[in-house]
Structure 1
């Protein structure tokens, strides 16, 4: 399984890749344990886009493996209930993901197209985009139809990697404003904090 996402997260908050690229007025909203979460308003949307940034003491290859192992990825990705591979085609992967959001939000599902780009400097970028019509609707779940984002892993010195998790989505259905506001901070913060813990434990085990 060459490529995955993970991340993913699910989710929340977006209008497409073009809008994601255009939303660059980021403001620091929360900082904790070395992890920074930035938010920006999205024109025409009620939901903010988030960007979480953290330094993780692990190689890019370790983080890549933790994303491509979907069973493990769903455990560290905030609000993930299920994640499974639908198709892998070289640098492109399609993943099905369901969410488990706090009450009163109804569960969501989504199909994500994940495109992976490997940089000459050892960096890795995974671009996420919702492909809602890839699978028929599932009874009891609200399909997220608009989502775009990315995971970026940039190697630094001494085996450390700067990880960026960015997402913008329209969650579909009704989401209370207090829950939406909490999600855009908790999703990157919890995902990055948990990924860091798992990756750094893995790095210790892999050390001769």
Structure 2
């Protein structure tokens, strides 16, 4: 969701630019959640990486990510999220609006989510690029046109997963430095804390997805 995904989505950050060669630098850490940043070539915005471990199986985690309408409960500053097209159980397009502090305009984006699993390692990859013109732009909202996010979900034991989320973006329009810093650190941290809580929701506890092997 990408969500900045985590602006997320995550909420809204990975661009079609290439990463610089600098190492990831730890920006903040809390409750086992680590948020890293690093420079991106040809961009003024840093890429973000989040790493943590969660108590869940792969089906439960993917089910939360694919439950678009309920992403408003855990994705940072997400005002709305609506599925536009369900291609298959493991692929969809959705629209989301991200609420941004005044006086900056809200952002919106269209995300294409594709879930795949390696049958040998059981590692699940969720690719989440954004599409700038899938639907017309709305007045008063700035469209995020360059954004790519990616989840790598690795089983590390019974009902335990290692989660890596990477995100980089061009949020469009004029964005002040304080807002960039807010979403680069606070956004991913708050998103993942709420995501951990969401995973414990009884609605996801017995889910088994046909395209995921736990």
Contact kept, 8 Å, 1:115 with 1:126, in 2: the verdict is yes
Q: Distance in 1 between matches of 2:183 and 2:204?
A: 31
The secondary structure found in structure 2 opposite 1:184 is helix
Contact kept, 8 Å, 1:41 with 1:49, in 2: the verdict is yes
Specify whether residues 86 and 24 from structure 1 end up closer, same or farther in structure 2 by C-alpha distance, changes over 3 A only: farther
In structure 1, the residue matched to 2:133 is: 133
In structure 2, the residue matched to 1:169 is: 169
Could you give the per-residue CA deviations for residues 107-144 of structure 1, whole angstroms, max 9, x where no partner exists? 01111112211122322111111111110111111000
In structure 1, the residue matched to 2:142 is: 142
In structure 2, the residue matched to 1:69 is: 67
Residue 109 in structure 1 maps to residue 108 in structure 2: yes
In structure 2, the residue matched to 1:87 is: 85
In structure 2, the residue matched to 1:186 is: 186
Specify whether residues 181 and 189 from structure 1 end up closer, same or farther in structure 2 by C-alpha distance, changes over 3 A only: same
Aligned-residue CA RMSD in angstroms? 2.1
Could you give the per-residue CA deviations for residues 15-67 of structure 1, whole angstroms, max 9, x where no partner exists? 31x525x6662111111111000100111211111011111111111111111
Q: Distance in 2 between matches of 1:6 and 1:171?
A: 13
Query: Which of 7-16 and 177-186 deviates more?
Result: 7-16
Q: Distance in 2 between matches of 1:92 and 1:188?
A: 23
In structure 2, the residue matched to 1:122 is: 122
In structure 1, the residue matched to 2:211 is: none
Aligned residue-pair number = 200
Query: Which of 134-143 and 98-107 deviates more?
Result: 98-107
Please, which runs of 5 or more residues in structure 2 have no aligned partner? 207-214
Query: Which of 140-149 and 100-109 deviates more?
Result: 100-109
In structure 2, the residue matched to 1:200 is: 200
Please, which runs of 5 or more residues in structure 1 have no aligned partner? none
The secondary structure found in structure 1 opposite 2:35 is strand
**TM-score, normalization by structure 1:** 0.87
Instruction: Report how far residue 105 of structure 1 moved.
Output: 2.2
Instruction: Report how far residue 201 of structure 1 moved.
Output: 4.4
